[in-house]
Amino acid sequence: MIIEKFEDIIAWQKSKNLSLEIYKIFSSNKDYSFRDQIQRAGVSVMNNIAEGFERRGDKELKHFLFIAKGSCGEVRSMLYLALELKYITEKDFEKMYNESTEISKILSGFIKTL
């Protein structure tokens, strides 16, 4: 499959869905700094994929995919904190954790192909 636009990238699609989920689940959270940070980390994944792709060079894309992968790690790290602070349920943790891990694996595979 030829990727013509960043919206075709599966990791971008999945990270957009994860970001929407993060926004939905944490929308009523009153710990504003926590909420803002996990939302920013989620959005960072999708935006770095998009920015890297739009730069139209494999070296640049690879660089931004590594940044996106780092943001995936940040989301997972914050999910542990959210669970222990009882901001989310175990079910929500598992779902978002697994989605983030899947995105990270897809990004790793994408990086290897470059």
pTM of the model: 0.95
Domain covering 8-113: architecture: Up-down Bundle (1.20)
Contacts by residues 102-108 (CB-CB < 8 Å, ≥ 24 positions apart): 102/14, 103/11, 103/14, 103/15, 103/18, 103/45, 103/72, 104/69, 104/72, 104/73, 106/10, 106/11, 106/14, 107/11, 107/49, 107/65, 107/68, 107/69, 107/72, 108/69
Interval 30-56: pLDDT, tens: 999 999 999 999 999 999 999 999 999
Show me where the domains of the chain are located: 8-113
Interval 42-101: pLDDT, tens: 999 999 999 999 999 999 999 999 999 999 999 999 999 999 999 999 999 999 999 999
